[in-house]
Amino acid sequence: MARIRAGMSQADLAHAAKTSQPAVSAYESGKRSPSVETLTRLLAAAGFELRMQLANPDTHDASRKKAEKLLPRSQVQGHINREGKRLRTDGRGKKT
């Protein structure tokens, strides 16, 4: 988080960005979303800048679902079961 990386309190950031501490708190907690203009101002007050770029969408999930439809359901379920078991162990068969 930019404010913490800058070593600022919510009050410090609010003052530097010409907004209120409750607004900063609401943005950080996800209760409110700042406009791009406000986000730019908050980041600048913390010594950062907002950069945006166009990128192709992440199609991993859609590609995975498409591939799963080509496999027999039993094979997909077997993979899900193996991965679930692997995630519940530490890799050596011991439960975590």
Q: How far apart are CA 67 and CA 29, in angstroms?
A: 37
How many residues would you count in the chain?
96
Buried b (16+ CB within 10 A) or exposed e, 39-52: eebbbebbeeeeee
Query: Long-range contacts for 68-76 (Cβ within 8 Å, ≥24 apart)?
Result: none
Q: How far apart are CA 86 and CA 56, in angstroms?
A: 32
Note the pTM of the prediction, 2 decimals: 0.58
Q: What is the dihedral of CA 47, 52, 57, 60, to 10 degrees?
A: -20
Taking only the tens of pLDDT, the chain with its 96 residues reads 899 999 999 999 999 999 999 999 999 999 999 999 999 999 999 999 999 999 888 888 888 888 888 888 888 888 889 988 888 886 666 665
CA dihedral sign, ordered 84, 87, 89, 93: positive
